[in-house]
Amino acid sequence: MIKIAYVWWLAALILGAAAWFDLRARRWGNAVFWGILATVFAAGDSIIAANKAGDRLPVQVVGAAVVALALLAGFGGMRRKVLVDSDAAQREASALRLGHRLFAPALLIPLATTLLLLLAPALVYGDWRLLPASPTVPALALGCCIAAAVALYVTRSRPGQALQESSRLLDQLSWAVVLPMLLAALGNVFENTGVGAAVAQLVAMVVPTDSALACTVAYGLGMIAFTMIMGNAFAAFPVMTAGIGLPLLIRQHGADPAVIGALGMLTGYCGTLLTPMAANFNIVPAVLLELKNEYGVIRAQAVTAVLLAVTNIALMYFLAFRNV
Distances (CA, A) of 312 to 48, 217, 230, 235, 262: 40, 10, 20, 19, 10
Weakest mean pLDDT among 166-170, 232-236, 251-255, 256-260: 232-236
- Positive or negative CA dihedral for 261, 267, 269, 271? negative
- Residue 129, SS3? strand
Dump pLDDT digits (tens) for 305-324. 999 999 999 999 999 998 76
| Percent of the chain that is helix, strand, coil (3-state, to 5) | 80, 0, 20
User: For 33-42, 72-81, 144-153, 211-220, which range has the lowest pLDDT when averaged over its residues?
Assistant: 72-81
CB count, 10 Å around CB of 129? 16
Q: In this predicted structure, what is the pLDDT of residue 132?
A: 78
* pLDDT per residue as tens digits for the range 278-308: 877 887 788 777 778 888 889 999 999 999 9
Q: What is the pLDDT of residues 256-269, one digit of tens each?
A: 999 999 999 999 99
Q: Where are the alpha helices (DSSP H) in 121-232?
A: 136-155, 159-173, 179-192, 195-206, 212-230
**Three-state SS at 234:** helix
Question: Does 192 score more than 60 pLDDT?
Answer: yes
Percent of the chain scoring above 70 in pLDDT: 95
Q: What sign results for the dihedral spanned by CA atoms 294, 299, 300, 304?
A: positive
Q: Is 218 helix (H, G, I), strand (E, B) or coil?
A: helix
Q: What is the pLDDT of residues 130-140, one digit of tens each?
A: 877 788 888 88
The backbone torsions φ and ψ at residue 291, rounded to the nearest 5 degrees and listed phi first, read -70, 145
pTM: 0.73
DSSP 8-state symbol, 133? S
> What is the pLDDT averaged over residues 180-185?
76
Q: Please check the confidence at residue 95 and state whether its pLDDT lies above 60.
A: yes
Give the H/E segment covering residue 124: strand 124-125
